[in-house]
Amino acid sequence: MRHFQYGARTTARFALGCLAACLVMGTSMAACGRSRDQPAATGAGLSRGDRAQEGRARGGTVVIAAGVDIKGVNQLTGGESRFEQDILDQLFLRLFEEQPDYAEHPPTFEPALAQGFTWSEDGTVIRIQLRSDLEWSDGVPITAADVVWTYTAQIDPDIAWLEAQSKDSIEDVVALDDHTVEFHFSRIYASRLSDLNEGVILPEHAWSKLPFSEWRGNEEWFLDNLVVSGPFTLAKLEPQHQIVLERNQNYFRQGYPLLDRVVFRVIPDRTNRVEHLLSGQVDFVEHVPPKRSRDIERSKRADLISKWHRQYTYIGWNGCQGLFEEATVRKAMTLAIDRNALVEALWGEMARPALSPILTSVWAFNRDLVAWPYDPDQARRLLAEVGWEDHDGDGYLDREGRAFSFELATNGDNQTRADAVVLIQAQLRRVGIDAQVSLLEFNSLWERHQNHGVDAILSAWGIDTSLDLKYAFHTDSIEDGKNYGCYSNPEVDELIARARRQARPETAAPLLRRIQQILHDEQPYTFLWEPMRLYGVSKRLENAQPNPLSAYFNLEEWWLAPRTGPKTG
């Protein structure tokens, strides 16, 4: 899946876990996995159908407090925010569904539209068998032709899908019959299944009527011609007010979803969202501010769920403009920032200091990394080594007539980040560095950052569970990727390229550990914290199981207990 800049875009790509051997040996899904309708032996690998509780009730409406709106229903021309992608994943299915089990090994996945697959002996062709009982919401069968046509749309230059690069190593997609499709790859690498699975499958019979050249700027057309494959369909979209989903009567899982409808009520302010939960006006809140967690825990109406998030927050140092091009300076900046104090002040026990772009909860994290301490004296010594001292006695460092002053920017609508940059400003002042805080509207901030126009940015990435680090740390990504700070190291470039060529994720582990060590030494980012994601859940709402991949991972299995009845186990 994709990296999303938090405050803006992320998803995690599907990687190969216990099915990695299937990829290499060319065995079938039946040998290594199971369909949703088959029982599972353990909780870690449960499919959605296996996770639903006994005694569940059907019907009713759940109201969810949403912070943002969605732009439309076509992933290829939208889907830029994590929330919008979550909504689209309720409307449209992918071939496979990633599982949130990436702590001890590469993540596994479950079949969705697909029910099985086999690999060719040389590993360059995968043959996928689709379920035979699939229909679009208008009753038209879902076939291999939809898969082929979706691929054609994904790579079309007129559409210019943001994630089209995920298809770069796919040479061809061929429908062998109505329920069998082949993907042909130009090379062997670990994330082949991830790449073919990136993006939902779209309805050829409904959407091929509009030429690809007219897709951009025609979002209303897709709303007017919407047919879906997922558990829900879109009943109403009222911008800045609400998004209403209703049960898709043609969904292939008989009896699901359990709810009649789901209403996402747009409430931009996070505090207001919590108040709506505590007063019983909504049933579910994502992104609960840490400072409001105790209010929910004390409430008789709601419970608090906390999960380690698939995200890290960082300061990205812009090496394009000269001030932060030296690794010594970047390391000094990290030493001058008390990350433990930031976590304690802003999060309490709801976050932990970050060390790497690979999270501490991920199987490939380099556990030999030792956190840089808070050491302002050592920071001053390192800066003096490269000429930054207070030559004019004004209390601020300078070099060759230039004061050590820079813009530290973040999106002002995120109070935790806004508080963080003020605290960091005070910490840097102690070593003679003048950080000028800018609190900007997110889109404005991100446009400047993409053009390398921000000295330093406090932001966050949602990780890609395929652990492809090219997005932010490879030289090639300075202009065509997300390496907005212009970080460049030839050894890192080569290690990333080698990791991307591995046939199995596990064999990339030593390369990933070495990359993490280099990034730790050179600090293109100061890694600040890994947060928990906090959710507020009405005591009426049963079986809501948010996880690091999506707050709405099992939305089709949510159900409502009677208002007067006890909450079941």
The end-to-end CA distance of the chain, in Å, is 33
User: At a CB cut-off of 8 Å and minimum separation 6, what does 410 contact?
Assistant: 417, 418, 420, 421, 438, 439, 440, 445, 457, 458, 459
Count the alpha carbons within 13 Å of 429 in the hemisphere toward its beta carbon: 8
Residue of 90, 113, 143, 137 whose CA lies nearest to 35? 113
Q: Where are the domains of the chain?
A: 4-265+539-560, 311-532
129 forms beta bridges with 116, 180
Q: Which residues of the chain have pLDDT under 50?
A: 1-53, 565-569
- What is the reported pLDDT for 7? 42
pTM, full prediction: 0.79
CATH, range 4-265+539-560: 3.40.190.10
Contact in structure between 239 and 84 (CB atoms under 8 Å):
no
- Would 4-265+539-560 and 311-532 be classified into the same CATH topology? no
What pLDDT is stored for residue 504 in this prediction?
87
Q: According to the model, what pLDDT value does residue 54 have?
A: 57
Q: What is the pLDDT of residue 564?
A: 52
Q: What pLDDT does residue 565 have?
A: 45
pLDDT digits (tens, 9 = 90+) for 331-344: 999 999 999 999 99
pLDDT at site 27: 32
What is residue 13's predicted lDDT score, i.e. its pLDDT? 30
C-alpha span between 95 and 270 (Å, rounded): 34
Concatenating the DSSP letter of every residue in 171-232 gives EEEEEEETTEEEEEESS--TTHHHHHHSS----HHHHTTS-GGG-TT-HHHHHHT----SSE
- For helices 490-501 and 509-522, angle between their N-to-C axes, nearest 10 degrees: 160
Instruction: Using alpha carbons, list the distances in angstroms from residue 331 to 489, 521, 522.
Output: 16, 7, 6
CATH superfamily placement of domain 311-532: Dipeptide-binding Protein; Domain 3 (3.10.105.10)
**Segment 126-137, tens digit of pLDDT:** 999 999 999 999
CB 284 within 8 A of CB 535: yes
Alpha carbon 290 to its chain's center? 20
Residue 44: predicted pLDDT: 31
